[in-house]
Structure 1
């Protein structure tokens, strides 16, 4: 397993959706949720995912703060506002480092408007307002925000639409499978337990195989163990497209059950719905939102966050470090959520949906056996059911 996949799994493990119960909805609406979410902030998968870029922005802002402080001290020393024992910024005479000293002097001049000069004669006193570094206009950072907000809303809505469609598509697999089981257990011959149990196995196998097909961390052998027979598992694993093989086996079981043609057609319509649902899941998995949106948003956001400290210093001073970190946390968090829900199958609770399908199909199979036995005993001891005219 690759290192990138391990890191991705760690980040998404806390994002896996759960199927809510009534108690879960009560906790979800509780007024204590604010404090609870703050208390569990360190366990958030979003926080883990954006930790690296937020730390980068914070470190860059801290470096800019240090540079601004050095520039302010340089101006104060030039204006004789600091004690005489505090030395000015030195000009190192070593040639390779002299270029760096020149670049630093130019950068300080850009930030403060004061050129650093090395001279044994102290410069004339300057006005105290020179301690305020040169203020950069905020308009260049404010104008693109409107367009970024529009693009962010579009991308977030598109990601949520993909998440919702993925949930509906996989939910259709479980729902239609239950409907096929209902039809089969009602229409198959009462003594045809072979086809009944075979169809139930392959319906459950279809859900598990599709889950494995849509994810990377699951193994086909482990998921099908206890569901299919060993030779059936070998047939699935050796097939080119495992979900299509399961659909083919479901169709073959229906065809060999000896049903009337009209009932076969009705069940085959449900099998076609299963095929459409599997294809919809594959389309969502294989076709992301156009990469230009994701790349351009990430590039603009990082460039904007890097330029933000130049405008914050005049208003916030040393407080711009936590402010920049908070702004980066909020904006990068929204971007990270959009990226996560763009591929829904890694965070949807597919295991619970598949386990629920297996429990329901097995329960329906047991109930159909009980109903068959009860029907036979009623005919044996009581007689046939009366037919109303």
Structure 2
């Protein structure tokens, strides 16, 4: 995730970062520029239709459709941002619940060995969840340390949560914690699986296919018909106008596509790895 100062907005105008939409759209911008030149030349210089007053009214259709497409894009970007923000809230809950669990265990547990176990396993859940959501491989190091076999073909965060539950149950059976204390710390452990499920819901449930395809087709045909209408009004000035309109519409769609999937390695994705590192730092301080 890109860290920046939102107050220095003027510098953003001349800044081109890796995820900038202009880089992605440049081949299409060039293609649409060539297409617009051909259309304007064909109607103005070849057919000489620039003085036809009836054809100049074609722009009315684009004005009406422009309002419709703007509403669709607003809904599209809002929906994508809601998914991004929901993912951020879930990871915020993971931070708070990890801290609360560590604080409770710090006060309840007496033996250093038990505290050391949770000092390692609580942050490890965040690390495993981060890699699980990104479909990356997970180190066997911690599981080997505690002589635990993990099946990488199965749900890995669940296996870490199972390890937590097993250890808590052992503490209860050995009378190191009471039944009331077991219920007291059970809330945070259960929340880990709830957070994992919420993140998986965001990751595995994209925007409906039909809606996404319709919007892309709408933008494509809207932009491709712009030169047909504005060639009679603006002449060769149609070319920069069409390019600018295409850049705005397509950029909004690209931004929505990127942020609707917040768990990845793109520049605008959630900094889940950094959050997991912060959890480890907090747990180390507490335990």
Fold shared by both chains (TM-score > 0.5): yes
Contact 2:33 2:239 in 1 (8 A): yes
Residue 200 of structure 1: aligned partner: 119
Query: 1:141-183: per-residue Cα shift (whole Å, max 9, x none)?
Result: 2222333222222222111111111111122122211111111
Residue 359 of structure 1: aligned partner: 281
Instruction: Please identify the structure whose Cα radius of gyration is greater.
Output: 1
Structure 2 residue ranges without an equivalent (≥5): none
When residues 172 and 209 of structure 1 are mapped into structure 2, their CA distance, relative to the original with a 3 A threshold, is same
Query: Quick one: which of 60, 78, 86 aligns to 2:35?
Result: 60
- Say which is worse superposed, 152-161 or 56-65, in terms of deviation: 56-65
- Give the Å deviation of 1:184: 0.8
Paired with 1:66 and 1:351, the residues of 2 have a C-alpha distance of: 53
- Give the Å deviation of 1:68: 3.3
- Give the Å deviation of 1:44: 4.2
Residue 211 of structure 1: aligned partner: 130
Contact 2:80 2:260 in 1 (8 A): yes
Contact 2:56 2:233 in 1 (8 A): no
Paired with 2:17 and 2:279, the residues of 1 have a C-alpha distance of: 34
Query: 1:208-237: per-residue Cα shift (whole Å, max 9, x none)?
Result: 110111113x4312xx65xx2535597335
Paired with 1:50 and 1:201, the residues of 2 have a C-alpha distance of: 45
Contact 1:50 1:336 in 2 (8 A): no
State the Cα RMSD in Å. 2.4
Contact 1:215 1:345 in 2 (8 A): yes
Q: Classify the secondary structure of the residue corresponding to 1:344.
A: coil
**Higher RCO (C-alpha 8 Å, min separation 6):** 2
Contact 1:136 1:310 in 2 (8 A): no
Query: Quick one: which of 212, 227, 245 aligns to 2:159?
Result: 245
Paired with 1:237 and 1:204, the residues of 2 have a C-alpha distance of: 20
Paired with 2:143 and 2:192, the residues of 1 have a C-alpha distance of: 23
Q: Classify the secondary structure of the residue corresponding to 2:248.
A: helix
Contact 2:223 2:242 in 1 (8 A): yes
When residues 233 and 293 of structure 1 are mapped into structure 2, their CA distance, relative to the original with a 3 A threshold, is farther
Contact 1:170 1:278 in 2 (8 A): no
Residue 304 of structure 1: aligned partner: 222
Paired with 1:65 and 1:364, the residues of 2 have a C-alpha distance of: 69
Contact 1:178 1:357 in 2 (8 A): yes
TM-score by length of 2: 0.88
- Residue-pair matches, total: 279
Query: Quick one: which of 199, 202, 206 aligns to 1:284?
Result: 202
TM-score by length of 1: 0.66
Paired with 1:233 and 1:316, the residues of 2 have a C-alpha distance of: 74
